[in-house]
Amino acid sequence: MFLFFAFKVYHMVAKFSRIIGTGSYLPERILSNKDLQEMVDTNDEWIVERTGIKNRHIVAEGETTGDMAYQASLKAIEMAGIEAKQIDMIIIGTSSPDFFFPATACYVQDRLGIKVSKGAFDMQAACSGFMYAVAMADSLIKTEMAKTILVIGADTLSRIVDYTDRGTCILFGDGAGAAILQASDEAGILGSQIYADGSYTSILNCETRIDSGKIIGHPYLTMDGQSVFKFAVKALSGVAKELADKCGITLDEIDWVVPHQANMRIIESTARSLNASMDKVIVTVDQHGNTSAASIPLALDLAVRDGRIKRGDLVLLEGVGGGFTWGASLIRF
Ligand code: UT7
């Protein structure tokens, strides 16, 4: 009887996964609106008014998504106060991996000098990559597949941006953000929701392919800005309301909203629709631009480190991106 009870306790499934550390990395080089004025027919006033963006960071020659992901991971590991070897799985949300294969997550695992016992892999959900990776990591911890997962959002979209196209080149920057999720009996991630609808492929994509040594298709990211804008506001407010409902939370209980940083007007419209005042919303788009899968963990890390997000706060992370893909997580921090 005792043995049976002890066996049951030992095999008790962790109730939650918690974020025990965050980290981020931005390349040194800054591309300002003034710099862009020299490259395309645009101006600081237009960019700030339509997007809220002033600066973006761009990788150095030879610097990759994997390099940025590694740097962000070191910071997250340090904050978590764990040894890197305690990580048993690595998931990277990215749409600009270093290679077709191996996965960028394997590169990070090797650079960290660890052997992960539960695997390392990339997830491709464009700007929603981090939300997909968090949802996946949370489920894998709750089902005891892994105990400590390094979850990263990292992208180098400057590699696929056409710097002669003023409609897109003003928006994007490079960066990486990371979080360590660990099994816990204390409340952490309360729930996640992810979605996809491939019928929207034409309004945001990078359809470059390599076939038998030839590059096929348009080599850069293309976008119908207005359609993306409308979809993004609808998706972000919809998923937040649904998730709050699913978790039995009312929107006014949420302390902080950490949205994907695509455009200041998208962030403000979504906040209005959620009845959230802007002083509860973490904004980095002015200084980072749209860093794709990195934007949410970058903003989260900034707000944790500057003391706005504290232990016990209720935090909504949410993102939308090409695919279309979108998703959210509600977290008791
Ligand atoms: O993770 C998701 C990624 N994508 C997004 O988040 C994109 C969401 N959409 C947007 O952010 C906005 O739609 C944009 C910022 C891309 C564009 O803003 P908009 O208010 O939708 O402008 P628009 O495309 O309707 O263009 C208005 C005018 C056009 O000129 P005309 O036709 O009125 O003469 C554009 O050619 O602004 C012109 N324009 C520019 N002017 C100066 C477009 N880009 C620029 C520019 N500088 N960079």
Exactly one of 127, 169, 206, 247 is catalytic; name it. Answer: 127
Q: What rounded mean pLDDT belongs to the chain?
A: 95
**Other CB atoms within 10 Å distance of the CB of residue 290:** 25
Handedness of CA 69, 71, 72, 74 (dihedral sign): positive
> How many whole angstroms from 252 Cα to the centroid of ligand 1?
33
Active site (annotated) includes residue 11: no
- Do 259 and 178 have their domain in common? no
**Other CB atoms within 10 Å distance of the CB of residue 53:** 26
In degrees, to the nearest 5, what angle opens at C-alpha 258 toward C-alphas 318 and 111? 85
**Other CB atoms within 10 Å distance of the CB of residue 28:** 9
Handedness of CA 145, 320, 45, 268 (dihedral sign): negative
> Residue 81 carries which side chain, given as an amino acid letter?
G
pLDDT in tens, 24-35: 999 999 999 999
Instruction: Give the pLDDT score at 15.
Output: 87
Q: The domain that contains 16 carries what CATH number?
A: 3.40.47.10
Single residue among 154, 185, 216 that ends a domain in this structure: 185
> How many whole angstroms from 225 Cα to the centroid of ligand 1?
6
- Do 206 and 167 have their domain in common? no
Single residue among 159, 185, 211 that ends a domain in this structure: 185
**Would you say residue 12 has pLDDT above 80?**
no
Structure confidence at residue 65 as a pLDDT band (50, 70, 90): very high
Single residue among 160, 185, 210 that ends a domain in this structure: 185
Report how far residue 330's alpha carbon sits from residue 244's, in angstroms, rounded to the nearest whole number: 7
Instruction: Residue 154: name the closest of 178, 179, 125, 121 by CA.
Output: 178
Report how far residue 216's alpha carbon sits from residue 117's, in angstroms, rounded to the nearest whole number: 38
Residue ranges making up the domain that contains 274: 190-332
The CA distances from residue 58 to 81, 116, 247, 269, 284, in Å, are 30, 30, 38, 28, 15
List helix spans (H) across 41-103: 44-51, 65-80
Structure-token match 């990371």, residue found: 178
Q: Which two tokens stand for residue 280?
A: 């509860």
**Other CB atoms within 10 Å distance of the CB of residue 159:** 16
pLDDT in tens, 280-332: 999 999 999 999 999 999 999 999 999 999 999 999 999 999 999 999 999 99
Report the residue among 226, 233, 264 best suited for mutation to probe ligand 1: largest number of ligand atoms under 8 A from its CB.
226
**What size, in residues, is the chain?**
333
- Do 47 and 67 have their domain in common? yes
Instruction: Give the pLDDT score at 11.
Output: 53
> How many whole angstroms from 54 Cα to the centroid of ligand 1?
15
Question: What's the distance, CA 158 to chain centroid?
Answer: 17
Instruction: Supply the pTM of this predicted model.
Output: 0.95
Active site (annotated) includes residue 290: yes
